[in-house]
Amino acid sequence: MLISLILRVLPFSIREPLVIAICAFFAGLAFYWFFTVGGLARGGIGLMFLAVGTLRFLFARKEWRSRRAAKAGGVGPQV
């Protein structure tokens, strides 16, 4: 599992956008196959990758905002 080792070693600011981009790529690929070839399994896999990428983006955005607020010395908005 070389990929998991690399993702653990990378810093947060590099790891999260990389994971989001990989999820978006695989979601697009699965949706392309779903629309050209068909098959509900491909559509489900595309939705799964899209959901994982979206959740990672939302969590990363919240973390980035809290880190930026901590650097500024202020208290971030609680959502």
Is it the case that residue 76 has pLDDT exceeding 60?
no
What type of residue sits at position 33?
W
**Is residue 7 included in any domain, yes or no?**
no
**Is residue 53 included in any domain, yes or no?**
yes
Name the residue range of residue 34's domain: 14-68
**Is residue 78 included in any domain, yes or no?**
no
Contact between residue 56 and residue 15 where contact means Cβ atoms under 8 Å apart: no
Based on the structure, what is the number of domains in the chain?
1
Give the Cα separation of 59 and 62 in Å (integer): 5
| Number of CB atoms found within 10 A of residue 48's CB | 14
pLDDT tens for each residue of 21-73: 999 999 999 999 999 998 899 999 999 999 999 999 999 898 888 888 888 87
As to burial, measured by CB atoms within 10 angstroms (0-12 exposed, 13-18 middle, 19+ buried), residue 30 is buried
Collapsed DSSP state (helix, strand, coil) of residue 75? coil
Is it the case that residue 11 has pLDDT exceeding 90?
no
**Is residue 59 included in any domain, yes or no?**
yes
